[in-house]
Amino acid sequence: MTDMSYMEIIAAILALMIAIIGHEIMHGLVAYKYGDTTAKNAGRLSINPIVHIDPVGTIILPAILYFSGAPFMFGWAKPVPIDIRTVVRNGGYSGAIAVSLAGITYNFFLAILASFIFPYFNIAGSFIGYLLYMLVVYNVVLGIFNLYPIPPLDGAHALEYFARIIKADYIANFLNRMERYGMIILIIFIATPLANWFFYPAIYIIDILLK
């Protein structure tokens, strides 16, 4: 079992929830800006964490990582429902790109904000200090992870819609076809030595922000 204190565990869980739930809410908020009320009608624009819980990504996986003594926690929230056809109809493919990148933008903004505040609370045993530290870590990791153009990640969706704009339909169609294999590709990257390369950009950015 991990040597993390209860304070650190609570701070880590809170930071992870803020990162992943905020990420999903932002997709819905930007879609709502383009006339898509799907997320709002489903009650998914709420900050109530209960409506965003995914049994595997929000509960089971973090619990397994904790009890197995993993040095980190990771997870995801239930995806916010979006009718991308409504977004495209009202905002074009540029609007669809904005929706796709909304969660990543949120993660990077929050990471930068937390990194600016962190030095003022970087005191041994400080709950706020550790919370800010984990907000930087989780938001950078989630932002970089989702930026990769691997279906079904946000980066792949943004690239697909950009390809539609420049009339490179062969790229968009390729990404669409690849979505069925996306989870397999992600598992290969995450569960093999390739993970060192896959997460290196996140580690590099975290190091810069927390210096």
**What digits encode the pLDDT tens for the residues 105-154?**
999 999 999 999 999 998 878 999 999 999 999 999 999 999 999 998 99
pLDDT digits (tens, 9 = 90+) for 153-178: 999 999 999 999 999 999 999 999 99
How many Å apart are CA 193 and CA 125, to the nearest integer? Answer: 34
pLDDT confidence of residue 3: 54
- pTM for the model: 0.89
b/e map 29-66, b = 16+ CB within 10 Å:
bbbbebebebbeeeebbeeeeeebebeebbeebbeebb
- Say whether pLDDT at 4 is over 70: no
Q: How do the domains of the chain map onto residue ranges?
A: 6-209
Averaged pLDDT score across all residues of the chain: 89
